[in-house]
Structure 1
Amino acid sequence: MASMIKALCVALIAAVLVMAVVPRPAEAALGCGTVISYLSPCLSYVTDQGPLGDCCGGVKGLYGAAKTTPDRQSACNCLKSLASSYKRVNLSKAAGLPKQCGVNIPYKISPSTDCSKVK
């Protein structure tokens, strides 16, 4: 179960970086559990075990939920910490999720993303 959560978090890097809306000052309300729940449908896709399926609904839902800069940065940091320790994720697929789901972001999606620069 923990390895599945780690894989999902890598996929979430893409979705977290999708959060390129105008920031407003606030505390992060979006926790790691929430991020994982949005992107759980993406797990089989990013681990080469299934089709894209309902993943885009989760990506778009997360995009809509992460309304503030602290939310987006919090989600990014959650994903980075989990992604670095799980090797089964196809990083190319994870990085391609925004495009696959019709969401445009101005960031390169990578486990090495500097989350402090996510706005």
Structure 2
Amino acid sequence: MKTVFLSFFTLLILFVFTVTATNPSKGLTCEQEITLAMPCLDYVTKKTNSPSAACCNGMKQIVNSSTTKEEKQAACKCLKEAGSHIPNIDKDRVNNLCKVCKITNDFDCQK
């Protein structure tokens, strides 16, 4: 039952962001960014000790599609808003995800 609820909750989050998605990055909408980041949920909620290949590949796509300051800010805003609805999220893991995935492109949300 817990798995069904979590799956439903995840789909609900995706639906909310589908309806309210704004400020897409180059070639990616907020919905697409969330979909690419979904495989990271187990890692950022401490269900696994390392991110999956799908997680790292999704993050690489998001980073590579966000080349300007505005695109980076839009991607960060999108993912931060999505993450704010996820219980038990570990902010340190979120902040270090690019480093753990060995993504060398600069993706500092403050820049």
Structure 1 or 2, whichever has the larger Rg, is 2
For the structure 1 residues 3 and 94, does the alpha-carbon distance in structure 2 shift closer, same or farther, using more than 3 Å as the test? farther
Q: Percent identity?
A: 28
TM norm structure 2? 0.62
Q: Which moved more, 1:30-39 or 1:75-84?
A: 75-84
CA distance in 2, matches of 1:71, 1:96: 20
Which consecutive residues of structure 2, in runs of 5 or more, have no partner in the other structure? 1-6, 14-23
Cα deviation for residue 38 of structure 1 reads: 1.7
Counterpart for residue 16 of structure 1: none
Counterpart for residue 52 of structure 1: 51
**Larger RCO of the pair (alpha carbons < 8 Å, separation 6+):** 1
* Post-superposition CA distance 1:50-109 (Å, at most 9, x none): 3412121111111111123332121111122233343321111111111101124474xx
For the structure 1 residues 64 and 28, does the alpha-carbon distance in structure 2 shift closer, same or farther, using more than 3 Å as the test? closer
**Is the Cα–Cα contact under 8 Å of residues 62 and 75 in structure 2 kept in the other structure?**
no
CA distance in 1, matches of 2:58, 2:98: 11
**Is the Cα–Cα contact under 8 Å of residues 51 and 101 in structure 2 kept in the other structure?**
no
Please tell me the root mean square deviation across aligned C-alpha atoms, in Å. 2.7
Counterpart for residue 32 of structure 2: 34
For the structure 1 residues 92 and 28, does the alpha-carbon distance in structure 2 shift closer, same or farther, using more than 3 Å as the test? closer
CA distance in 2, matches of 1:61, 1:106: 12
Which consecutive residues of structure 1, in runs of 5 or more, have no partner in the other structure? 7-26, 108-114
**Is the Cα–Cα contact under 8 Å of residues 66 and 72 in structure 1 kept in the other structure?**
yes
For the structure 1 residues 40 and 82, does the alpha-carbon distance in structure 2 shift closer, same or farther, using more than 3 Å as the test? closer
